[in-house]
Structure 1
Amino acid sequence: MDIGFTLQAPDGRVIVSEMQKSDGVHKIDASFPGDYKICFDNTFSHFARKVVFFELSADNDDEDDEDDEKDLKNEREELASIIDMTLEDFKKLLDNVKNNLDKTEADQQVLKNYEARDRNVQESNFQRVNFFSGLQVFIMVGVGLTQVILIRSLFDDKSRVASIMRAKT
């Protein structure tokens, strides 16, 4: 559960660095063109098996802005005459809805990751409990058999001694 995470810019600068964290959400602006380096580090615990989930998303609003400007100029007057809301107000409202949906989706993904992690922990605990329960049953049966054999051997010795005494008399 303790993973190190490092994100490096193309110029070698470390943008984000976290050690021994079980979860994290990071948003950065990729202001430098080039290859960014992402490193997940498990050197803290070599023996524990880990499942790592990560998601990369890129939003490029530059291309959409050019098309939107052309459409805005043509439809601004028509829409303003039909409703009291301007096109800019409507666009801001839709952008706000989109941002809220993106945040909700990210939060749901984080909760999904928590659920998956907790499920893995529960399955691991379930396997441990089953193993130790089986071991305990095996030990209890062994102790019970040992007691039965010990008690039988005590009665067998007394009956042999009694038969030897009868034979002598």
Structure 2
Amino acid sequence: MDKCTLFTLCFFTFIIGIKTHEKQLTVNIEPRKQDCFFENISEKQTVELDYQVIDGGHGDLDITFQTYDPHGRILLADYKKAGNTHTLTTQLTGDYKFCFDNTFSSFNTKTVFFEIIIESDDDFGGGNIDGINSEEVYELKIQDIQDIVNRVRSDMNKIRVLQDVIKSIEARDRNLAEENFFKVTTFSMIQIIVMIVVGSIQVIMLRSLFDDNSRVHKIWKNLESYR
């Protein structure tokens, strides 16, 4: 067996042992409420969590986030943050709980983008592949191949997470721009209406002062007579 064939066989044997489970959610958390989500996770697994508040319902972009293990113990906790990224290694097998708490908000509904990536590596059986003797395994340094693949996989996961974060931040910025546009438009319309009303009152008052039959003119004359 040549070295190229051996490398390919070792590479795909290692890749088969990689298991990745990924979920993405976009949820609305009502004011004064808490929503929790459950995921069954085995022990010795790496869990990457990322969340971003992409819309605050004309309010602050923040949420309280907590992660619980199967026994109800708090593993992670963020208080009133716009987003964060966490990585943890599970020690127990069971249902893990992920909660978003918006009870501190009285009126604003929060829209949250949430992503969870669960990874596990099966044992890599270098040296037990049929047709490969110990000398060939030693020559190609199977451990080096495993380290390279680990780095490639880690970099790819980081790129994917970064792309998701950028996408959620872009959605948040778009919502902020739309909210600011609504505020500016509403304030401008109110200003225009106030200016029209005040201008109309001023015109009416001035005309009434020079009209002998108007009530304003009579009141003005009476005030002058008292002086």
Which residue of structure 1 lines up, in the alignment, with residue 74 of structure 2?
A: 14
Task: Please show how residues 150-165 of structure 1 align to structure 2 within 5 Å.
Answer: 150-157=205-212
Q: How many residues align?
A: 150
C-alpha contact (below 8 Å) 2:126/2:142 kept by paired residues: no
- Consecutive unaligned residues of structure 1, counting only runs of 5 or more, are 159-169
Alpha-carbon deviations, 1:59-112, whole Å to 9, x = none?
1222xx4xx6379734756xx69xx85454334323211211111221222222
> Are 2:117 and 1:57 aligned?
yes
C-alpha contact (below 8 Å) 2:66/2:100 kept by paired residues: yes
C-alpha contact (below 8 Å) 2:70/2:94 kept by paired residues: yes
Alpha-carbon offset, residue 139 of structure 1? 0.6
TM-score normalized with structure 1 length: 0.75
Secondary structure of 2:91's counterpart equals: coil
User: Between Structure 1 and Structure 2, which shows a larger proportion of strand residues?
Assistant: 2
> Are 2:125 and 1:69 aligned?
yes
TM-score normalized with structure 2 length: 0.58
Root-mean-square deviation (CA), in Å? 2.6
Equivalent position amino acid for 1:126 in 2: F
Mapped partners of 1:104, 1:76: distance in 2: 35
User: Between Structure 1 and Structure 2, which shows a larger proportion of helix residues?
Assistant: 1
Identity %: 39
More moved, 142-151 vs 86-95: 86-95
Secondary structure of 2:111's counterpart equals: coil
Mapped partners of 1:53, 1:39: distance in 2: 13
C-alpha contact (below 8 Å) 1:4/1:42 kept by paired residues: yes
Quick one: structure 1 residues 76 and 141, their matched pair in 2 at CA, closer, same or farther if it must change by over 3 Å?
Answer: farther
Larger radius of gyration: 1
Task: Please show how residues 1-169 of structure 1 align to structure 2 within 5 Å.
Answer: 1-62=61-122, 65=123, 69=125, 73-74=129-130, 86-157=141-212
Equivalent position amino acid for 2:72 in 1: G
Secondary structure of 2:66's counterpart equals: strand
